[in-house]
């Protein structure tokens, strides 16, 4: 199933900024919180934040929003 562009330039920019902020947040979490700990939970949180950021960047690049594709209306 091909991804159909369902967001405009404003939505793409918002998703790109959000995705980059999440990726930077994941790096900061990894460096200042998860590194040096013996537990797996901090690394799971870092992985989830990084995956969310990467997906938001993908949405911006593709011009496609998963929420809009499910039929929900968004403001952007």
46 located within any domain: yes
15 located within any domain: yes
Task: Please name the residues in contact with 47: beta carbons below 8 A apart, sequence gap of 6 or more.
Answer: 26
74 located within any domain: no
Which pLDDT tens digit goes with each residue over 33-73?
A: 999 888 999 999 999 999 999 999 999 999 999 999 899 98
A 10 A CB-CB count for 64 gives 19
39 located within any domain: yes
pLDDT of the residue at 74: 82
75 located within any domain: no
Domain count, the chain: 1
3 located within any domain: no
What is the rounded distance in angstroms from the CA atom of residue 40 to the CA atom of residue 5?
Answer: 37
55: containing domain: 9-69
pLDDT of the residue at 50: 98
Which pLDDT tens digit goes with each residue over 19-35?
A: 999 999 999 999 999 99
4 located within any domain: no
52 located within any domain: yes
């Amino acid at each position: 199933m091909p991804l159909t562009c369902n967001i405009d330039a404003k939505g793409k920019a918002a998703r790109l900024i959000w995705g980059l902020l999440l990726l930077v947040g994941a790096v900061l979490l990894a460096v200042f919180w998860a590194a040096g700990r013996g537990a797996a939970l901090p690394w799971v949180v870092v992985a989830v934040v990084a995956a969310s950021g990467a997906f938001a960047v993908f949405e911006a690049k593709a011009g496609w929003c998963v929420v809009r594709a499910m039929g929900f209306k968004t403001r952007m």
